[in-house]
Structure formats: C-alpha cells, structure tokens
Structure 1
C-alpha cells in the first residue's frame, strides 16, 4: 500500500492536537518528550522538524489558540456604529464566552505548573503571544475613544497593556484557587478573586477617565463557573 504523505502544516496541526490532549489528561509537567513522541507516532528527528523543543510546542499551542480567539473577537472590538466604550465592553464580555467555549479553564488546570519558577520564562512567553496579537486592536480602540471624547488618556497603548496585564493576573488568581484545601477555603479564595476583579475594573475605569463601574468585569457566577471547570 502506498504511504500517504500529509502536508507539513496538516501533520504539524495533528501533533499539536495530540499534544494538547495529552497535556489535558496528565498536566504539562507530567508529559515528557518521549510521551509526545509516542502519542504523535513520530521519531525525535521528525518532531524537531516541527518544534525545536517541548517549550516551542507549547508556544505554538498558545499562538494557535490566540489566533482562534482573535478571529472571533476582533469583529466584536471593531463593530461599526458603536462608541469605543460599547465596543470595549462588548469585547471584554465576549472574551469570557470565547475562552469558555475554547476550553480555557481546562487548559489552565493542565498548565498550572507553568506558574512555577522554573517555567516562568515559558509562561511569560505565552502571555506575550496573546498581548502582542491583541495590542494593536486595543490601542486603536482606546485611541478612537480618546478622539470621541469618551476616554481620557495620554497613552492608549499603555492603557491597553494594563488591561491585558489584569487579564493575565486573573489567570494566576484562578490557578491559586486550586490550592484551596476545602470548600470553606475555596469560597474565601473566590471572594478574594472577585474582589480583585472589581479592583481591576475600577482601575481600568480610572485610567480611561471613566466613572467607576463603566467597564465590564466578570461576575461571581462567571468566576465560579470557571473554577468548576478547572476543578473538574
């Protein structure tokens, strides 16, 4: 039987799918390079043809998920006929729905070890992938808001970076919830997380020159839904 040779990008996508499934099953630190080779069914040389390292594969997964989210969210941030604040709030609200649909909580649970000191560089790289992709959209949106007289800031790009920094911090807060030893401690951790989200919302309002409560933040119910999936 003639061997079917798949296009490089098709095979690369398959390896990413197989690796993600393994990370979700076992957790990032519990998957070795040999495990990845075994599930992909390829020799080490072929794996390195696609990804120079396990860390490069994780970066590729982050790039893919960020691109998929960006494809859905950019039209929301760019909606014509709406004010900059309406577009920002629509985009922030849609971000939660998109990430839930993409399985972000489960992926956070699988990648908790990325927050340990020895994986800090890789986690920083993943955050940067998302921020670099969305920065131009947020910068333009905030610039539009300044021009409309809706926002008041002298540094639209810097404000966008701060908003994205709050989102990255939320991911850390959610991971910390996993360390809660019992239901009481978990409720306290959720309380603290919701309080911090409220603070981030007020900070966003103030750096945009808006009244407190103007921008959308996650509700307690939404946080609990994410935590439930992370712990599943």
Structure 2
C-alpha cells in the first residue's frame, strides 16, 4: 500500500487535535512530551519539527483556539447593521451562540475541562491570546459608540479590559454548576450564574453611561440550556 503523504498543515492540525484531547483527559501537568509523542504515533524528530517543546505546542493550541473564537466574533460584529450598542450586544452574545451551535458533548466537556486547575496553563494562554485579538475590535466599537453619542466613557480600552475581566470571572461559576452534588445545589449554582451575568451587564451599562438593562445578558432559560448540554462526568 502506498504511503499517504499529508499536507503539512493537515498533519500539524492532527497533532494539535490529539494533544488537546490528551491534555483534557489527563490534565496539562500530567502529560509529558514523551506522552504526546507516543500518542501521536510519530518519531521524536517529526514531532520536534512541528513543536520543539511542550510550551511551543501549548502556544500553538492557544493561538488556534483564540483565533477560531475571534473569527466568529468578528464576523458577527461585521454583519450587525445597528448602532454601537447593537454591535456590542451582538459581540457579547456570540460566545453563547457559537458554543451552542457547535455543542457536541465532547466539545462542551472540553470547554469546562479547560477551567480545571490542572489545565490552568492552557486556559490562561487561550484567554490572554483571545483578549489580545479582541481588544482592538472591542476598543474600536466602544470608541465609535462614544463618537456617535451612544456611550459615555473617557477610556474605551479600559472598558474593554473590564469586559474581558468580567467574562473570565464567570468560569468559576460555571464549574460550580457542573460540580454540584445534587439537584438543589445545581439549581442554586444556576441561579447564582444567572444573577452574575445580570450583575456584569449592569456594570457594563453603568461604566458606559447606559440605562440599566441596555446590555443584553443571558437569561435563566439560556443559562439552563447551556448547562444542560454539559456532561455531568468529564
């Protein structure tokens, strides 16, 4: 049988996919470079050609994930024909829509597994790269809102950082829902998560000089839809 020669980009993507699954299954700190090479089924030389170190592989994984997420956000904002508030709400809603549209159990389990302490190294890289990619877009959107009179703030980039910080903080609340030991605890965690989304929306409203309730946040029904799709065991 003739040897199958894959395009370098395809081969690199396959190695990243396998590494990502292995990290999620065992945790970043419990996977060595030799584990990654053995799982990939390639020689050390071939693996090192793509990723000379574990950190290099993590950087590649984080970059790919962050760029995929940003592409979805950028497309939604570009298609929105409303004012700056409409565009901001479209941007903030995209995360939910993208996750649910691609919400296979494996993908959703991966999303929550990234929030585990043992995967903090990878999650932190993804968040940082995502913020670096989206900060200019979010800052520009807020600046346009100030110019058109929709928003009132003296520091658009600072507001963008506030929004990123609030989004990152939600991760611990999501883990609390998944970790709930029984239905009453789960219901309480869902209520806390819903309330936290509402609080963050009000914070953004006020820092942008908007009436309370202007920034759209996830409803209780949307939160329940999101967490219902998450596997209990991952």
Q: Same fold (TM over 0.5)?
A: yes
Moved more, 67-76 or 30-39: 30-39
Report the Cα distance in structure 2 between the residues aligned to 1:43 and 1:213, rounded to whole angstroms. Answer: 56
Report the Cα distance in structure 1 between the residues aligned to 2:207 and 2:31, rounded to whole angstroms. Answer: 42
Structure 2: runs of 5+ lacking an equivalent: none
TM-aligned CA distance change 1:81 to 1:180, over 3 Å: closer
Per the alignment, residue 106 of structure 1 pairs with 109
- The structural deviation recorded for 1:102 is 3.7
Q: What does 1:1-232 correspond to in 2, within 5 Å?
A: 3-23=3-23, 26-29=25-28, 31-79=31-79, 81-103=81-103, 105-113=108-116, 115-116=117-118, 120-232=120-232
Report the Cα distance in structure 2 between the residues aligned to 1:48 and 1:31, rounded to whole angstroms. Answer: 16
Number of aligned positions between the proteins: 228
TM-aligned CA distance change 1:231 to 1:2, over 3 Å: closer
- The structural deviation recorded for 1:162 is 1.0
Report the Cα distance in structure 2 between the residues aligned to 1:55 and 1:220, rounded to whole angstroms. Answer: 39
Say if 1:194 and 1:220, in contact at 8 Å, map to a contact too: yes
Report the Cα distance in structure 2 between the residues aligned to 1:9 and 1:160, rounded to whole angstroms. Answer: 34
Structure 1: runs of 5+ lacking an equivalent: none
TM-score (structure 2 length as normaliser): 0.85
- The structural deviation recorded for 1:136 is 0.8
Say if 1:166 and 1:200, in contact at 8 Å, map to a contact too: yes
SS at match of 2:180: coil
Report the Cα distance in structure 2 between the residues aligned to 1:182 and 1:34, rounded to whole angstroms. Answer: 39
Report the Cα distance in structure 2 between the residues aligned to 1:193 and 1:203, rounded to whole angstroms. Answer: 15
Report the Cα distance in structure 2 between the residues aligned to 1:45 and 1:183, rounded to whole angstroms. Answer: 51
